[in-house]
Amino acid sequence: MQISLQKVSSFLLTTLLTFSLAGCRTATSTAPSQSTNTSDSADTTSVASTPQEINETPMPEPSAEEKAKAAQNRQMGLEYRGQGRYKEAIAALQEAVTLDPQNLSGQVILGWTLHLDGQAENAIDVLQRALDQDDNHVPALNALGIVYLVDGQLDAAVETHTQAIALKPDNEIGYYNLSLAYHRLQEYDQAIDHAEQATVLEPGNPHPWVALALAQWDSQATEAAQQTYQQAVALDSQYRESWFLDHLRQAGFSPEQIQKTEAIRRAS
């Protein structure tokens, strides 16, 4: 059986790709979540003899030709990624970042693609470079937080997503992933609070309902968990099927969380 991309990862892929493609279109015309593209950002060099004497060397402005070529490479990279050709996608996206290192969307797309290819350490490096250029870039924070979550760096995931929702209070990605992180940290009240907020922000997405049911289940509110899980079933009847739960790995769930979700499914 095949699972549609939209159902597989509406939070981790669909929302992020929506931002990313929007960023690409902007980059093409002139120029997250996750949103957009990634890269090897050029480091900002600073020379300082005293705290008052700080001189940052500005990053060179890419030419119009370089920006256009970078946009083409980003589009090519996204096409390769859609075909599962991650190595070729990464090469194209890296070239885009080299050509246009100021395009933060390009860096986020690169970092996210490295994450999809299982290169967590490289993904973190790229996304951190994007944040070195703008530490308030929400798509980069969303992407980095997810990488941390999937890699098991839970404290870092919490810190990163907390910053993201502080900057963008309607950031459903941040709330959803905070719920999963807090659940794994066994902070169930926090997990419930953040999952509830995600359901408010994205009521038509089953993932936050499943996350909420999971947190309720482990907080001993088993009846509430079963009722909440039925909300996910109402949105997608495939949640009645055991085999369907495997796709939750792509939505940020750990293997242990998927096993507990299966227990909720059986009880419901």
Instruction: Extract long-range pairs of 244-248: CB within 8 Å, 24+ residues apart.
Output: 244/3, 247/3, 247/7, 247/8, 247/9, 248/207, 248/210
CATH number of the 189-268 domain: 1.25.40.10
Which range (29-33, 80-84, 124-128) has the least confidence? 29-33
Q: Are strands 45-48 and 54-57 parallel, antiparallel or unpaired?
A: antiparallel
pLDDT tens-digit series, residues 118-157:
999 999 999 999 999 999 999 999 999 999 999 999 999 9
Whether the model pTM is above 0.85: no
- Token pair belonging to 266: 């059986």
* Arithmetic mean of pLDDT, 230-248: 98
Same fold across 1-43+61-168 and 189-268: yes
| Sequence spans of domains, the chain | 1-43+61-168, 189-268
Of 160, 140, 163, 138, whose CA–CA distance to 149 is shortest?
A: 160
pLDDT tens-digit series, residues 42-72:
333 232 333 334 345 667 899 999 999 999 9
CATH number of the 1-43+61-168 domain: 1.25.40.10
